[in-house]
Amino acid sequence: MRARTYIALFLAVVLASITAIPTSLAAHSNVQQPEPAAATPMLPGARFPIKVAGGNQTNPSVRCNIASYTNDDLEGTSAIEYFDFATATTHVVPGNGLDRLSDTDGQRIVFTQLDATGDRIALYDIASQTTNFIGGGGDSDPAIGGNFVAYRHGESPTGLGDIIIYDRSTGGYYPLSFNDVQDWWPAVSPDGNVVVWASCQSGQKGCSIYSAAKNSDGTLINIRAVSTTGDNSFPDTNGQLVVYTSERNGENDIYWQRVGGSTEMHLALPGDQRDARISGNLIVFESQTADSSWDVFVYDLASARLFQVTKTAGVSETLSDIVTGCDGLNRIVYAVPGTFGDFDVWGFTFQLNDSIPDQLNDLVASVLSFNLHDGFENSLITKLQDALAAVNSSNTATACDSLTAFINAAQAQSGKKLTTDQVKQLVDSGTQIKSDLGCQ
């Protein structure tokens, strides 16, 4: 789905290194806040190895029961493999030993293959076990969704590149960008209705995010700039929203907005975030923690709740991907450094508990993470505890009153004991819980 270290990989042939409108967190404050990881609830689920072996296993992609990844033996050979969750079996995609950078829609796998003519795009059908090639030389970094395969076409890995669409249903090719800058990181929504990419001024810097939405007749003509503010990278889309990372004021954060345009939303967390991917209402990403390593987090757009998936001090997970709603389960895949400095691929399967008590407990954790004055902190937490007690005794009216009091107390301290960002986060979460309770 994304060639995040493409230039280095090309030179070394090594891989080393929703329909609902979401509740948003506030715009980021320039004042550094305490790292929230300790107060962020761990997401319950099952963590398990997908491929732990010598060499590099990296760049994982997941759709429902299939997770594809690159297996590089670090001796000049790389292959695409995939893990089938339904059968718990691993399979090797036929190739020439110089294959990498795959994406999957759960039925097919697209990947980049290097041969004598340069890079080209291969499309492998899992059911028929057949491979077809798309485009010509200079093509790389494919993404698949619906009938569309999007990829980067360039004369060289470091040269100017354009985003091309291949329509599997018609066999036609459609250029989305022809310009004098470098275009990178195409991604396609699962239904194939939206394609997103980054257009960069120099190398992979000074990048803006663009999207192309399918018109009623099936053409991709509604091309628009999604974000031209900051240095943006690695966009993704679920067909309704576009999510991306943007560096602003020296910090990388997660942003999103509607495909057709809307107010830009911002996940306000301290430190840097990277590798945002979206499926349904969930965004997965990695966030830098206090010891400068990276852990995997999940943010629920529907409830404005943040969860931590991994907590591995000194170990940095990377290149995470997510899929929701597969037989009632959600799945995350990611790469993690192994014993000898190479990378392995791991998976995490979970069901998100959206119960009101869980949401209230998460909101308590958010209050605690702000390190407020004891008296004011206790006042806010008491109101949430009153709401929790009322919910547990099926007294919805009292729970709603307690949440209203909590929201009013937070708003009254905007710019005083709470920053505007903190107020927005607490009010958004409290309002979401009131909505879930059916408060009038």
Per-residue pLDDT reduced to its tens digit, 189-225: 999 999 999 999 887 899 999 999 988 777 777 899 9
Give me 11's structure tokens.
């030179």
154 has pLDDT over 80: yes
Distance CA 18, CA 238 (A): 7
Return the pLDDT at 383: 95
**CATH number belonging to domain 6-352:** 2.120.10.30
The band of 353, judged by pLDDT with boundaries at 50, 70 and 90, is: low
The pLDDT of 400-418, averaged and rounded, is 95
**Domain ranges for the chain:** 6-352, 357-437
Q: C-alpha angle 300/22/276, rounded to 5°?
A: 55
Nearest Cα to Cα of residue 107 among 158, 60, 147, 47: 147
Whether 7 has a pLDDT exceeding 60, the answer reads: no
The chain-wide mean pLDDT, for the chain, equals 87
CA 155, 157, 159, 164 torsion-angle sign: positive
Torsion over CA: 138, 228, 242, 62 (sign): positive
- The whole-number pLDDT of residue 108 equals 98
Write the CB contacts of 252 (distance below 8 Å, at least 6 apart in sequence).
Answer: 245, 246, 272, 273, 274
Return the closest-CA partner of residue 51 out of 377, 336, 373: 336
More confident residue, 383 or 216: 383
The amino acid at residue 252 is N
Distance of CA 408 to the CA centre of its chain: 33
3-state secondary structure of 405: helix
